[in-house]
Amino acid sequence: MKKLVSLILLTIFIVSACTPAASVDTPVATPEASKTLPAPQVKTTRTPDAKQAAKDFLEDWRLENYQGMYDRLSTLSKDAINLEDFTKRYQSAMSAMTMVELNYQISSALTNPRSAQLGYKVEFQTALVGMISRDMIMNLTLEGNSWKVQWEDAMILPELKGGNFLSMDITAPARGNIYDSQGSALAAQSDVVALGITPGLITEGQEGTLVSYLSRLTGLNGDYIRSLYQYAGDDWYVAVGETAKSNTDRYYDTLVTLGGLNMNFYTSRYYFAGSGAAHITGYVQSIFPEELDDYKRAGYRGDEKVGRTGLEAWGEEYLIGKKGASLYVVKPDGTVETRIGSADSKPSQSIYTTVERDFQSEVELAMEGFRGAAVVVELNTGRILALTSTPSYDPNLFDADNYNRGWLLQDMLNPVENRLLNRATQSAYPLGSVFKIITMAAALETGTFDKNSSYYCDSTFTELEGVTLYDWTVEKELPPSGQLTLPEGLMRSCNPWFYHIGLTMWERNLPNAIPDMARGFGLGEPTGIGQLQEVSGNIPNPLNVGDSVQLAIGQGAMQVTPLQVAAFIAAVGNGGTLYQPQLVDKIAPPEGDPTYQFEPIVKGKLPVSAENLKIIQDAMYDVVHASRGTGRQAMLGLQIPIYGKTGTAQNEPFDPHAWFAGYTRNGNENRPDIAIVVLAENAGDGSAIAAPIFRRIVELYFYGKPQRLYPWESSYYVTRTPTPLVTETPPAEEIVTPEP
C-alpha cells in the first residue's frame, strides 16, 4: 500500500514538473474552458531604452528644465553635485556664451546589460559668436529599471572638464542716435547741464536777466519759471530743467555772473526736445537686477542702458549695433586657457524720424494745459509729422546722474497725471460727433438715405417709445436747426438726424451697417504703426435699438484712439486711401546706404464710392465755412482751406471730451497737406476747445508761428479764464431701450 501511494505521488510530481506554471492572475484551463478562454499571457520585464533616456535628458536641456535633467542623474552624480550647483553650472555657461537656441542629435549608442554609452552632437546658437558645435559622450548606468546619467562637467562643453568656466569679453559700439526729419538730434549722447535756482542768492536787479536766460536755454515760459520759486525758501534748490552744454557754452561768461543760478554738469543720453517728443523717442534706463540674466543671454554686458518705450524700445536692435565678442575658457585659477569663439563689432545705426523737432515741440506747447493728444499726418503718405500726448514727461529725468532727478522725478511719475501714457495710441475714447462722418457714409452706401434726404432737426428726438433725447441746441438755449438735408445734418452736427439714421438701420434689418463701415475706416483694430504701442479700441455690433441709436452719434461702448482717427480723416481727405501711419523715415549706419527707407504702406480703401466720398468732403467743408457750420467761428480768417468735424463725447460722470478732426487742402508743394486730430480730455465742447487748438497747429505748420490767440489766452501761451467760442454738440444721454 505504501509503495502504491509513493508511486502515485511520484507520478503527480513528474506531471506537474512538466506542466508550465500559471501566473497568479491567469486561470488554469480545464478541458471545457480551454475551448473558450484565450491562451495564458506570460508577464515579462522590458529592458529600458538607453537611447530614449539620453534623448529625454537632452530634451530637458534644450528646454532648460534643469530640475528634469537633475532627476535623471545617477545616485553617484547626485552625491557629487546638488541641484542648486548643477543648475548654476548650466545657467552660467549658457549665459556666458549668450545661448539663444540649443539643438542636439544622438549619433551612436552602445548598450550593455548594466551600462550604456551614447555619442551626441550639440549645436549652440549664440547671440554674439554665432554657432558653437561639439561632439560629446554620455555614460549611463542602469539603476533599478531606469537608465541614469553619469554626469560630468564635460557634458556641457568638453572644454569645461575639471571645473573650467566660460567668460565672454564684450565690446559695444556707442548707441545710435535718433534724429528728426531734418537731421536735428532728438536723442544722442551729449554733455548736459542740469539747471536750477537758489532764490535767496538772486542778485538784486538781475532776476529778469536770469529768468530770460533760463527760458532761452530750456524753452520754458518765463512766467512758469518764476512760479517754480515763487513760494520757495531763500536757501532752497529749485530745479528748472536741462540743456545741452553746448548751449550754456554760448553764454557761459554771462551765466557765471548770475547770482542764484546753479549749473550741474553730467554726460548722458540727452533728449534735446525734452517733453516735446517724449512719447515718440521714449527713454532708456539701466538694466534692472531681475532682468540681468535675460539681457546677458541676449548679448548685453549688463551695464548698458536699454530702450523702455517709444523708438528707443522699438529700435533697440538697430540702436545697439552689433557687439564685438570673444568667448574664452577660463581655468579655475582665473587664467585663460583658450578662445573658442569670436565676432567683430559693427557700428550702431541711427533712426531718422518723420517728425520735425521744432514743429513737434510747438504742437506739444499748443496742447499745454490740457490732458489729451494731437496727431498730424501727411495726407497722401501716412507719414506722421507730429504726435503728442499731454501732459508729457521729461525723459532726461530717468538718468540717475541728472541732479534735478531727485526734485522732479516723483512729481513726473504722479499716477494721477499718468504722464507716461501715450494718449494718442494707448488710450481709447468715444468719438462723439466726429463719428457722424462714418454714420453718414453708411447711410449713403446702403442707399438708406441720399444727399437730398431731408429731416426736421428738432430740439428733441422722440421716435423711441418712452424715451426723449435732446439736441445740443437745447443746452445752449438755441432754436432747433430746422429742416436739413443729410450733408446739412453733418454741417450742423444735428443729433436727432443721426439718431434717426441709427434707428432706421435697426428697423430695416441693417444693424451692423454702421459698425461694419467703421471697421472699413480702420477702427476697432490697431493702425499697424508698430513703432509705438497701441490699443485696438472697440467697435461693437449693437445688441438693441438703443445701442444702434447711440453708436450713430459716436457714443455707447465704441472707443477709438486719436491715431486711428487721424488715419481715417487722412483717407477721407486723399480720396479714400487708408495709409498705415509711420514714424520712421530711414534707418542708417554712420556710413553707407540706409538699411530701411520710408515707403507709404497702403492698408486698404475706404468702402465708400467716389461720389459719396465727395458728398462727405463737401459737408466737412461746410462744417468750417458755411454760416451755420459748427466749426466756422474757430476758423474765421484762416486763409488755409479746412475740411473738418467737431465732436463732443460724453464721459460721465466727468465733463465731455473735446474733439476736432480735419484736413487741409492748400496745394503747397513745399508743405504737403495734412490731417490733424485734436483730443482734449474732459475739456468741454469740441468747437470751443479742440477747434482753436486745431487752428493753431495749422498756423504753426504753414506759417511757422501762431496767428491768433486762444479764447483763454491773454498772450501767447499765457492762460486766462477760458471763454467759449461757439456752441457745439453736447454729450448725448446714455439710454437703455427695450428690445422691439
DSSP string, 394-449: -GGGG-TT-TTHHHHHHHHT-TTT-TTS-TTTS--B--GGGGHHHHHHHHHHTTS-
Find, among 87, 74, 58, 164, the residue nearest to 115 by Cα.
74
Task: Categorize the per-residue pLDDT at 465 as very low, low, confident or very high, splitting at 50, 70 and 90.
Answer: confident
* 6-10, 151-155, 211-215, 228-232: least confidently modelled range: 6-10
Find, among 218, 224, 260, 222, the residue nearest to 241 by Cα.
218
Q: Distance between CA 215 and CA 516 in Å, rounded?
A: 51
Position 294 in a domain: no
Q: Domain range spanning residue 476?
A: 432-654
Same domain, 503 and 641: yes
- What's the confidence (pLDDT) of residue 723? 39
pLDDT exceeds cutoff 90 at 390 = yes
pLDDT exceeds cutoff 70 at 375 = yes
Residue 121 and residue 105 in contact, taking contact as beta carbons nearer than 8 Å: yes
Task: Categorize the per-residue pLDDT at 665 as very low, low, confident or very high, splitting at 50, 70 and 90.
Answer: very high
The radius of gyration of the chain's CA atoms, rounded to the nearest angstrom, is 37
Strands 178-179 and 350-353: parallel
Helix (H, G, I), strand (E, B) or coil at 723: coil
Query: Which CATH number belongs to the domain containing residue 264 in this structure?
Result: 3.90.1310.10
Position 705 in a domain: no
Domains of the chain: total: 3
Q: Distance between CA 199 and CA 639 in Å, rounded?
A: 46
Query: Which CATH number belongs to the domain containing residue 443 in this structure?
Result: 3.40.710.10
Burial of 393 (0-12, 13-18, 19+ CB in 10 A): buried
Same domain, 213 and 127: no
C-alpha cell at 184: 536735428
- What's the confidence (pLDDT) of residue 41? 52
Position 17 in a domain: no
Same domain, 142 and 206: no
At residue 148, φ and ψ (nearest 5 deg) are: -120, 145
How many angstroms separate the Cα of 519 from the Cα of each of 486, 502, 505, 512, 530?
22, 16, 17, 10, 19
pLDDT, average across residues 494-518: 97
Residue 79 and residue 70 in contact, taking contact as beta carbons nearer than 8 Å: no
Looking up cell 471763454 gives: 723
At residue 579, φ and ψ (nearest 5 deg) are: -95, 150
Position 302 in a domain: no
Q: 631-653 pLDDT, tens per residue? A: 999 999 999 999 999 999 988 88
Position 120 in a domain: yes
Domain boundary among 606, 621, 654: 654
Position 633 in a domain: yes
Domain boundary among 654, 679, 707: 654
Position 123 in a domain: yes
Strands 596-597 and 482-485: unpaired
Q: Give all strands (DSSP E) within 419-556, no chain letters.
A: 454-457, 460-461, 469-470, 482-485
- What's the confidence (pLDDT) of residue 45? 54
pLDDT, average across residues 451-474: 92
How many angstroms separate the Cα of 559 from the Cα of each of 414, 430, 449?
26, 5, 26
Same domain, 154 and 207: no
Kindly give, in sequence order, each residue whose CB lies less than 8 Å from that of residue 568, ignoring residues fewer than 6 positions away: 438, 521, 522, 523, 578, 606
Name which residue leads in pLDDT, 527 or 12: 527
Is the link from the previous residue into 653 a cis peptide, with omega within 30 of 0? Answer: yes
Rounded percentage of the chain residues whose pLDDT exceeds 70: 91
At residue 452, φ and ψ (nearest 5 deg) are: -95, -5
pLDDT, average across residues 19-32: 38
- What's the confidence (pLDDT) of residue 46? 66
Is the link from the previous residue into 391 a cis peptide, with omega within 30 of 0? Answer: yes
Residue 644 and residue 662 in contact, taking contact as beta carbons nearer than 8 Å: yes
At position 305, the amino acid (one-letter code) is K
* 667-671, 710-714, 721-725: least confidently modelled range: 721-725
Same domain, 638 and 510: yes
Name which residue leads in pLDDT, 464 or 21: 464
Q: How many CA atoms lie within 13 A of 541 on its CB side?
A: 7
Query: Which CATH number belongs to the domain containing residue 134 in this structure?
Result: 3.10.450.100
Same domain, 538 and 594: yes
Q: In the chain, what is the straight-line distance between the N-terminal and C-terminal CA atoms, in Å?
A: 108
pLDDT exceeds cutoff 50 at 36 = no
- What's the confidence (pLDDT) of residue 40? 52
Same domain, 150 and 197: no
Residue 348 and residue 365 in contact, taking contact as beta carbons nearer than 8 Å: no
Domain boundary among 271, 295, 315: 271
Q: Distance between CA 453 and CA 412 in Å, rounded?
A: 53
How many angstroms separate the Cα of 406 from the Cα of each of 49, 269, 283, 400?
64, 18, 18, 9
Buried b or exposed e, range 483-516, using 16+ CB within 10 angstroms: ebbbbbbbbbbbbbbbbbbbbbbbeeebbbbbbb
- What's the confidence (pLDDT) of residue 475? 85
Same domain, 207 and 245: yes
- What's the confidence (pLDDT) of residue 48? 86
How many angstroms separate the Cα of 241 from the Cα of each of 179, 201, 708?
21, 18, 29
pLDDT exceeds cutoff 80 at 14 = no
How many angstroms separate the Cα of 681 from the Cα of each of 366, 371, 559, 564, 716?
15, 5, 14, 17, 22
pLDDT exceeds cutoff 60 at 139 = yes
Same domain, 130 and 194: no
Same domain, 437 and 568: yes
Q: 172-230 pLDDT, tens per residue? A: 999 999 999 999 999 999 999 999 999 999 999 999 999 999 999 998 889 889 999 99
- What's the confidence (pLDDT) of residue 27? 39
pLDDT exceeds cutoff 70 at 495 = yes
Same domain, 229 and 130: no
Residue 178 and residue 281 in contact, taking contact as beta carbons nearer than 8 Å: yes
Position 3 in a domain: no
Same domain, 145 and 217: no
pLDDT exceeds cutoff 70 at 555 = yes
Round the average pLDDT of the chain to a whole number and report it. 91
